Amino acid sequence: MRKIEQKHAEGESIMGLERIDFIREQLKSKKVVYVNQLAEKLFVSPSTIRRDLGHLEKEGLVRRFYGGAKLMEHPSNEIPFFTRKEENLAAKEIIAELAADLVADNQVISLDATTTAATLPRFLHNKENLKIITTSAQIALDCLDLLLPARIFCTGGWLSATSRGFTGETTRMRIAEYYTDLAFFSARAFSWENGITDVNEEDVCLKQEMIRRTRKAVFLCDHTKFDQISYRLVCGAAELDCLVTDRRPSDEWLKRLESAGVEVIFPE
Amino acid sequence: MRKIEQKHAEGESIMGLERIDFIREQLKSKKVVYVNQLAEKLFVSPSTIRRDLGHLEKEGLVRRFYGGAKLMEHPSNEIPFFTRKEENLAAKEIIAELAADLVADNQVISLDATTTAATLPRFLHNKENLKIITTSAQIALDCLDLLLPARIFCTGGWLSATSRGFTGETTRMRIAEYYTDLAFFSARAFSWENGITDVNEEDVCLKQEMIRRTRKAVFLCDHTKFDQISYRLVCGAAELDCLVTDRRPSDEWLKRLESAGVEVIFPE
DNA sequence: CGTCAAATGCGCAAAATCGAGCAGAAACAC
DNA sequence: GTGTTTCTGCTCGATTTTGCGCATTTGACG
pLDDT 10s digits, B107-125: 999 999 999 999 899 888 8
Q: Nearest residue on chain A to B149, judged by CA atoms?
A: A161
Distance of C1' in D19 from CA in A160, Å: 39
φ, ψ dihedrals at A255, nearest 5°: -65, -50
- Identify the weakest region by mean pLDDT among A1-5, A235-239, B112-116, B138-142: A1-5
Whole-number pLDDT of residue B82: 52
CB atoms A17 and B164 under 8 Å = no
Judgement on whether residues B162 and B96 belong to the same structural domain of the protein: yes
User: Can you list the positions of beta strands (E) in A142-236?
Assistant: 150-154, 157-160, 165-167, 182-185, 189-191, 195-198, 217-220, 232-235
For an interface test with A, the pick among B35, B138, B159 (most A C-beta atoms closer than 10 Å) comes out as B159
Which candidate, B44, B66, B70, places its Cα nearest to that of B57? B70
On the question of pLDDT at A12 being above 60, the answer is no
- CB-nearest to A141 from B37, B137, B152 is B137
Buried b (16+ CB within 10 A) or exposed e, B125-143: eebeebbbbbbbbbbbbbb
Other beta carbons within 10 angstroms of residue B59's beta carbon come to: 14
Judgement on whether residues A54 and A112 belong to the same structural domain of the protein: no
Give the CA distances from residue B58 to residues B51, B63, B124, B148, in Å, rounded to whole numbers and listed in that order.
11, 9, 12, 15
The answer to whether the beta carbon of residue A68 comes closer than 7 angstroms to any atom of strand C is yes
Q: Average pLDDT, stretch A64-89?
A: 83
The answer to whether the beta carbon of residue B3 comes closer than 7 angstroms to any atom of strand C is no
| A213 exposure class (CB count in 10 Å sphere: 0-12, 13-18, 19+) | middle
Contact status, residue B159 vs residue A153, Cβ threshold 8 Å: yes
Whole-number pLDDT of residue B2: 29
Range of the domain at A34: 2-73
φ, ψ dihedrals at B214, nearest 5°: -140, 155
- Give the number of domains in chain A: 2
Å between A212 CA and nearest CA of chain B: 21
Q: Residue B265: helix, strand or coil by DSSP?
A: strand
Encode pLDDT of A121-142 as tens digits. Answer: 999 999 999 999 999 999 999 9
- Identify the weakest region by mean pLDDT among A68-72, B91-95, B248-252: B91-95
Distance CA(A121)–CA(A132), nearest Å, equals 9
Contacts of A141 in chain B (CB under 8 A): 76-77, 137-138, 141, 159, 164
CATH of the domain at B29: 1.10.10.10
Contact status, residue B183 vs residue B210, Cβ threshold 8 Å: yes
Q: Quick one: which H or E segment has residue A68?
A: strand A68-71
Judgement on whether residues A55 and A180 belong to the same structural domain of the protein: no
Encode pLDDT of B29-72 as tens digits. Answer: 988 999 999 999 999 999 999 999 999 988 888 989 999 999 88
Judgement on whether residues B234 and B122 belong to the same structural domain of the protein: yes
Distance of C1' in C30 from CA in A190, Å: 78
Å between A243 CA and nearest CA of chain B: 29
Q: Average pLDDT, stretch B178-184?
A: 97
The span from the first CA to the last CA of chain B, in angstroms, equals 33
- What is chain A's alpha carbon radius of gyration, rounded to the nearest angstrom? 22
How would residue A152 be classed by pLDDT, with cut points 50, 70 and 90?
very high
CATH of the domain at A116: 3.40.50.1360
Distance CA(A207)–CA(A188), nearest Å, equals 12
Distance CA(B119)–CA(B103), nearest Å, equals 14
Contacts A–B by Cβ distance under 8 A: 93
The answer to whether the beta carbon of residue B261 comes closer than 7 angstroms to any atom of strand C is no
CB atoms A4 and B153 under 8 Å = no
Distance CA(A59)–CA(B154), nearest Å, equals 25
Average pLDDT, chain B: 87
Judgement on whether residues A106 and A35 belong to the same structural domain of the protein: no
Q: What is the DSSP letter of B214?
A: B
Largest CA distance in chain A: 73
Q: Nearest residue on chain A to B41, judged by CA atoms?
A: A1
Judgement on whether residues B63 and B84 belong to the same structural domain of the protein: no
Which among A23, A47, A73 is the end of a domain? A73
Encode pLDDT of B5-16 as tens digits. Answer: 333 333 455 667
How would residue A155 be classed by pLDDT, with cut points 50, 70 and 90?
very high
Query: Which nucleotide minimizes the distance between its C1' and the CA of B49?
Result: D8
On the question of pLDDT at A99 being above 50, the answer is yes
Contact status, residue B133 vs residue B121, Cβ threshold 8 Å: no
Judgement on whether residues B65 and B26 belong to the same structural domain of the protein: yes
Judgement on whether residues A219 and A128 belong to the same structural domain of the protein: yes
Whole-number pLDDT of residue A14: 61
Distance CA(B36)–CA(A216), nearest Å, equals 59
On the question of pLDDT at A74 being above 60, the answer is yes
Judgement on whether residues A49 and A166 belong to the same structural domain of the protein: no
Give the CA distances from residue A116 to residues A57, A92, B120, in Å, rounded to whole numbers and listed in that order.
30, 6, 32
Contacts of range B26-35, beta carbons closer than 8 Å, 24 or more positions apart = B27/B56, B27/B61, B27/B62, B27/B69, B27/B71, B28/B71, B31/B70, B31/B71, B32/A17, B32/A18, B32/A21, B32/B68, B32/B69, B32/B70, B32/B71, B33/B68, B33/B69, B34/A15, B34/B67, B34/B68, B35/B67, B35/B68
Q: Average pLDDT, stretch A240-263?
A: 96
Provide the pairing of β-strand B68-71 with B157-160: unpaired
Which among B29, B45, B71 is the end of a domain? B71
Judgement on whether residues B125 and B219 belong to the same structural domain of the protein: yes
Positions in chain C where some atom is under 7 Å from a protein CB: 6-11, 16-21
Contacts of A140 in chain B (CB under 8 A): 137, 159
Which candidate, A93, A136, A95, A130, places its Cα nearest to that of A114? A136
- Amino acid letter, B246: D
Judgement on whether residues A156 and A122 belong to the same structural domain of the protein: yes
Q: Nearest residue on chain A to B169, judged by CA atoms?
A: A153
Edge-first strand listing for the sheet containing A182-185:
A263-265, A242-244, A217-220, A182-185, A108-111, A130-134, A150-154, B157-160, B165-167
How would residue B230 be classed by pLDDT, with cut points 50, 70 and 90?
very high
- Amino acid letter, A202: E
Distance of C1' in C13 from CA in B55, Å: 34
- CB-nearest to B156 from A3, A15, A154 is A154
Most confident of A17-26, A77-86, B68-77: A17-26
- What is chain B's alpha carbon radius of gyration, rounded to the nearest angstrom? 21
Average pLDDT, chain A: 90
Q: Residue A4's beta-bridge partner residues? A: none
Which among B40, B71, B102 is the end of a domain? B71
Question: Is the C-alpha dihedral spanning A248, A249, A255, A259 positive or negative?
Answer: negative
Residue A218 contacts by C-beta under 8 Å, 6 or more apart in sequence? A99, A102, A182, A183, A184, A185, A240, A241, A242, A243, A244
